[in-house]
Amino acid sequence: MADLELDDLVPQVEEEIDSLEEGKLLDYITGNPVKDTPKEQVRQRIARALFHEYGISVDDMVPDFKMKVEGRSKKIDIAIFEAGQPKNLDYLERVVICDKEPKTGSKGAYRMRDHKQAEKEFGLLYGAMGEEEASNCNWGLWTNGLDFYFFQKEVSRFDIKFQPRGDWPLADGTLGSRTVASDQQLRRADRDMLLTAFKRCHNYIHGNEGMPKDAAFWQFLYLIFAKLHDERRPKDQPARFWAGMFEKEVNGKKQLVDEQFDPEGQKAIRERVTQLVDEVAEKYKDTVFRDNPPRLQLSDRALAFIVGELAKYDLGRTALDAKGAAYQELVKHNIRGDRGQYFTPRGPVDLVVEILDPQPHERVMDMASGTGGFLVSTLKHVDRLLHAKAHVSSGEESTEEFLSIQEQLIHFAEHQLFGADFDPFLVRAAQMNILMASNGQAQVFYMNSLEFPAGHLQGVEEAQGKADLGTMDVVMTNPPFGSDIPITDPNILRHYELAHIWERTEDGGFRNTGRLQGSVAPEVLFIERALAWLKPGGRLGIVLPNGILGNPGDEYIRWWILRHSWVLASIDLPVEVFIVEANVNILTSLLFLKKKTEDEIRAEDLGQQVDYPVFMAVAEKVGFDRRGNTLYKRGPDGEELVVEKEYRERVKVAGESVVRVLRRKEKTLDDDLPRIAEAYQKFRETNPMPGS
């Protein structure tokens, strides 16, 4: 086995690297260092969203813009000016006022306020928008990172009013609504802002509607399904999942009113969205909603709030990584890990997928799929392959290219991707996760993978003929593990070689005595079951506790693994991985195997041993510490290192589609896993996989 150094395989970063002193971050607008404070973190998220979601150029933004407000010098957190014009009050179009993010309660909920309840916060915003010299400033936003309050200025002969709005226009001044004939005004979500939107929706239901967290979670997911269903409607049918403006008579005068903030408008939203939810319930009655039929229990006000939050996004075109991260962050707070369900962070999940490299034509299985992390990462990987094949970057596709890639991804999700779990909540959560990522209906089965093809759970019959043993090209999984949840049922144990007692033979091997053990840790059986699910030559990536790979008493397991498979790689993970996710000290490794053919096993039994190199690596850093705090790379003097990155966004400006390019220096995660993935690829360039 070859133990290789990462530095020998991966070239070091060649770009010029600068450093950033402690307590500083780089301003997204100017690129200059600024003090890292809770309020500044909110402002940076908003600045990113203004570029990525609204298509507003950073060249048209000014942070800490000084202006006179009611005779006093004030700083506006972000001032936005007419494109390409001087940065003075004559051309000021929008203002943003930020505050630090509020702390959530002990239960993780924050009570959302409406515009009237938060009115005392808006003095500076109203004052800046109302200045006579800023007559062209018609839009304002006040936010603390969780509360978002948009306003549009309306000027009459006698006064100025600031009307609450659910959103403000894109860079070209357009605001998507029911009057838009197509979905062209919907936007790809920025990753952080989509996560914020999900949190806001869940918080609103949990904190404002008085629902328990799990009930709030399901109410929110019903509406996500309705949103996705609406996006997939035929283009000749009108949208129904939207919240816009309508004309209403107020005090004898007709004026435009935002549906979200008007009782009449809120009822209209409910009528449209209820139809969508009913259609979704019918479509997924045999899968997602079989045991949990959707019934909207939200007030008109809460429903309007959530529709307003989600309606502006094109979830179909939003990056899979952004959707997956937002969903996973939300769902993990509604899962109870009392049956060994420790959810693997995205870094190790992505590493497993990169090393196994599943292809669009291959069948992929996660036999302990949880919320679907491995499956969604596989979709993300296949999506990249499809974009590369089409020679187009994500986000820059034509409509025809986008639909073609999406159709292929849907086919992969519905015909090539499989999951299984014995928790019905997790099965539905995974199905929703995959649907949101791919627009394809998932094949995730409610069953005990260790019993299959036997078992009493309803997914067993569904999986037979679709996901039979011996039919998968790739299996990846993080099984439940630990001696505190052993498998003791002899009806399960008797089907596994590794559930028997083994004794050493004179030639240094092991022999199955035929006697069953009384109990076996589940991860041991998962190794055998994973290989059984693979075709000969199929590839496995599995998370295992280190004991299996090192304990003297487990040597028979290692002997069995080497007899039935080629070892492709072994990667040690640091303890931080599961301290943060599971609050337990578990040292784990990623083990990668390739299933041997019967001929290869027989040949080795006859003494035809084959020597081959095995990739091995130790990950010391995974981008966060034991408390879950983000870690960035540092130089010898302890300062955080920064590198230049490029962002590209396709936006509409004056009716024309343009690509905005932004280069900014950013801190880099102190994470060994991406380097390990690159090192493995280089290793394989000179060391082909063993076996036929």
Does residue 197 sit within a domain?
Answer: yes
Does residue 656 sit within a domain?
Answer: no
pLDDT recorded at residue 107: 56
Judge whether 360 and 386 are in contact, CB under 8 Å: yes
Q: Where among 288, 317, 334 does a domain terminate?
A: 334
Does residue 470 sit within a domain?
Answer: yes
Answer yes or no: do 287 and 426 share one domain. Answer: no
Answer yes or no: do 518 and 493 share one domain. Answer: yes
pLDDT recorded at residue 296: 85
Does residue 225 sit within a domain?
Answer: yes
| Secondary structure (DSSP) of 54-70 | T---GGGEEEEEEEEET
pLDDT recorded at residue 654: 60
Answer yes or no: do 588 and 467 share one domain. Answer: yes
Q: Where among 316, 334, 352 does a domain terminate?
A: 334
Q: What domain count does the chain have?
A: 2
Residues 6+ apart with CB under 8 A from 119: none
Answer yes or no: do 349 and 326 share one domain. Answer: no
pLDDT at 303 over 80: yes
The predicted-structure confidence for 460-485, as pLDDT tens digits, reads as follows: 999 999 999 999 999 999 998 866 78
Average pLDDT, the chain: 87
Cα–Cα distance for residue pair 267/259, rounded to 1 Å: 9
Provide mean pLDDT across the span 257-264: 88
159 confidence band (pLDDT: 50, 70, 90): confident
- 344: DSSP letter: P
Answer yes or no: do 373 and 516 share one domain. Answer: yes
The predicted-structure confidence for 587-609, as pLDDT tens digits, reads as follows: 899 999 999 999 999 999 888 88
Three-class SS of residue 296?
coil
pLDDT recorded at residue 650: 67
Answer yes or no: do 304 and 368 share one domain. Answer: no
Does residue 431 sit within a domain?
Answer: yes
Q: Which two tokens stand for residue 617?
A: 């690596």
If one compares 203 and 592, the residue with the highest pLDDT of the two is 592
Does residue 279 sit within a domain?
Answer: yes
Please give the distance of CA 613 from its chain centroid, rounded to a whole number: 35
pLDDT at 16 over 90: no
Answer yes or no: do 403 and 291 share one domain. Answer: no
Answer yes or no: do 430 and 479 share one domain. Answer: yes
Answer yes or no: do 525 and 614 share one domain. Answer: yes
Answer yes or no: do 475 and 567 share one domain. Answer: yes
**Residue 537's CATH number:** 3.40.50.150
Token pair 């005392």 in the structure block, residue: 120
Does residue 527 sit within a domain?
Answer: yes
Provide mean pLDDT across the span 13-30: 73
Q: According to DSSP H, which parts of 204-360 are helical?
A: 213-231, 263-283, 300-311, 320-331, 346-356
| Alpha-carbon distances, residue 198 vs 193, 322, 328, 691 (angstroms) | 9, 11, 11, 46
Q: Where among 318, 334, 350 does a domain terminate?
A: 334
Answer yes or no: do 310 and 349 share one domain. Answer: no
Range of the domain at 305: 186-334
Does residue 5 sit within a domain?
Answer: no
Answer yes or no: do 399 and 291 share one domain. Answer: no
Three-class SS of residue 588?
strand
